[in-house]
Structure 1
Amino acid sequence: MYNNLGAQPGVPRPPTNPQPNPFGNSFYGAGSGLIRGGLGAYGEKILGSSSEYVQSNISRYFSDPQYYFQVNDQYVRNKLKVVLLPFLHRGHWTRITEPVGGRLSYKPPIYDINAPDLYIPFMAFGTYVVLAGLSLGLQGKFSPEALNWLFVKGLFGWFLQVSLLKVTLLSLGSGEAPLLDMLAYAGYAFTGMCLAVLGKMIWRYSYYFLMPWTCLCMGVFLVKTMKRVLFAEC
């Protein structure tokens, strides 16, 4: 009511815009900057350490998938000889290292016959499914359901082998081998299975000779490899 009448004579009018406090603003700016800087540095430290932890664990257990596909024809031939005929491998079983970024790293399979790869296991697995389906067709037992069942059984067997290798390393006091290494070592078993199924298609009774032989060779190959992992790379 009185605001609309203007200023009354003899009565001082209160200021409409109070003067700012320079000391309060300076202290407030300094405090807020300190809080923002401290929280930012603390958050960056936490996020940085978490990122390093995640990256170190990913590199430890999964490695780089592209590393396992750096192969050529010569490597594939030599690797098949080592897997199927490990008794004839006269060289060492230790992987070759090279300095990369200030630390030692393993050379890719194309430069090291002892390096694990995923090209041969995946190709061997696909070949095994095709040969097994063809064998069923020659016996008059082929069906899409039977082929799907072969595929599922193959994957399940592969998973069991990886789990068995991992548990074996853990029981022996070493579980630091990357998961893709275990996947590669377990997948080499399909090369022997392909040979056994192919022999069965050519001569029925050859399967009973080839399967024990390939199992023996695969066992020797895995023993040599796991021995290297335990005593040379841990």
Structure 2
Amino acid sequence: MTGEGTAGALRVLVVDDQALMRSGFSMMLGVEPDIDVIGDAADGAAAIEMCRRHRPDVVLMDVQMPGTDGIAATEVITGEHLAKVLILTTFDRDDYLFDALRAGASGFLLKNSDPEDLVDGIRAVGHGHALLAPEVTRRVIERLATPPPTEERPGPDRSGARAPELAGLTARETEVLGLVARGLSNAEIADRLVVGEATVKTHVSSCLAKLHLRDRVQAVVLAYEVGLVHPGD
């Protein structure tokens, strides 16, 4: 199934090796006026080819598939800037989640998420925001912010000293980055700092550009890795 779609709507490709899942997701998303399902694919290789031909805005990507799995496909799709990827994952496979994050996925939802959360997630990712399901946020942060026991690496600096990685940021940009890492939205940051939301967006964009980060997910990971914020803050 492919289509030209409605002007202005988010173009979505559904990828899952189970036909029933593809059909269900496509039907559910197809009733949304601002979302067009432009096709579906049963494996990662087919997803890559369809992305190259149809350039969707968002790929709703399963992970476990025969042949080219969702992680390998995500790495190619994001590496070629073909689309943003929203991963559907299961809670008992953390390794998939972290590998997909490193591969360039912009969002993660659990397969048992409410339909409304899935639709909202596609909209968020399609409009350039990163998305982590609340249930997996802590796991992502704790895994990526903590080096393996065998890795020789200094721990986060809790002295308040400025991390070298953040040297190019202004004080306000550093403050905004810390609030992003704590999970605050732009509107919440604006309220906290008593500034306009447009100002916050400018600061966030500047942080991403200066730190050479793709999105807010990478910003969260970096903030924890360099000790700007800590698990439990």
Interval of TM-score (by shorter of Structure 1 and Structure 2): under 0.3
TM-score, with structure 2 as normaliser: 0.25
Structure with greater Cα Rg? 1
TM-score, with structure 1 as normaliser: 0.25
* Structure with the bigger percentage of helix: 1
